[in-house]
Amino acid sequence: MSGDQLSTIDTLARELTFGRGEMIFQEGDRGNGFYIVATGKIKVFKLSFEGKEQILHIYGPGHTFGEVPVFEGKSFPASSMALEPSTILFLPRDAFVDLITATPALAMNMLADLSRRLRAFTVQIENLSLKEVPARLAAYILTLARESAPDNDPEQMPGKVTLPISKAQLANLIGTTPETVSRIFKKMADAGLITVQTKDILIQDPDGLSELSDVGRL
């Protein structure tokens, strides 16, 4: 987004603060606006009938979320909660729709953003239905490493990553349980792929990890 667009948005937005664990919206709520993370970290997730959780996204500063109902009408398809103390900008629907209608470049940005999100879901569905847990975990570690590489240059992938969330949240994100995450980390370590030190993961064998993320058998 250009600086111009951002400053216009500033005048439209209301700033909200949430403590760790506070709900931002609930699945089924009528959405009359959407959100931008200013500081902190939030998750968007679904709960099953029995209370099991599947995380759909985890977003930090700069990310927008909750815009599906803005464009589609209807209600939020999932719920959202602050993972740590966070400040969130809320953009009311009507003013934003006016703005985006008047600003083709903003509309194109929004289309690109939703498209990226569709791609991300595509990958998540592939992971959940076509890969086993070891492959999903390997893929997650590699994604983390790639994201934190300077210039996103895969050649500069760091040898150490730090988990940005608890292992329990990580389990929910990749569609499994904390117990299983723990066991697979152990197996990966035994196989010489990584070393786990609390929240830090040393990547011993990037190629091996990469193969595991495709082939999936440990």
**Judged by CB, which is closer to DNA: 52, or 74?**
52
Q: Is 20 helix (H, G, I), strand (E, B) or coil?
A: coil
Task: Find which of a copy of itself, DNA, none residue 138 binds, CB within 5 to 8 Å per kind.
Answer: none
**Judged by CB, which is closer to DNA: 27, or 132?**
132
Residues 82-121 within binding reach of a copy of itself (CB under 8 A): 97, 100-102, 104, 107-108, 110-112, 114-119, 121
Number of residues that bind a copy of itself (CB under 8 A): 47
Please report whether residue 178 would count as binding DNA according to CB under 7 A.
yes
**Judged by CB, which is closer to a copy of itself: 44, or 141?**
44
Strands (E), the chain: 14-18, 23-25, 33-39, 42-47, 53-59, 64-65, 79-82, 86-92, 160-162, 194-197, 200-203
Q: Which of 183, 206, 208, 210 binds DNA (CB under 7 A)?
A: 183
Q: What is the DSSP code (8-state) at residue 155? A: G
Taking Cα atoms as reference points, which of 134, 151, 133, 148 lies closest to residue 194? 134
Taking Cα atoms as reference points, which of 7, 53, 19, 15 lies closest to residue 35? 15
Which residues sit at the interface with DNA, rule CB under 7 A?
52, 132-134, 166-168, 175-183, 185-186, 196, 198-199
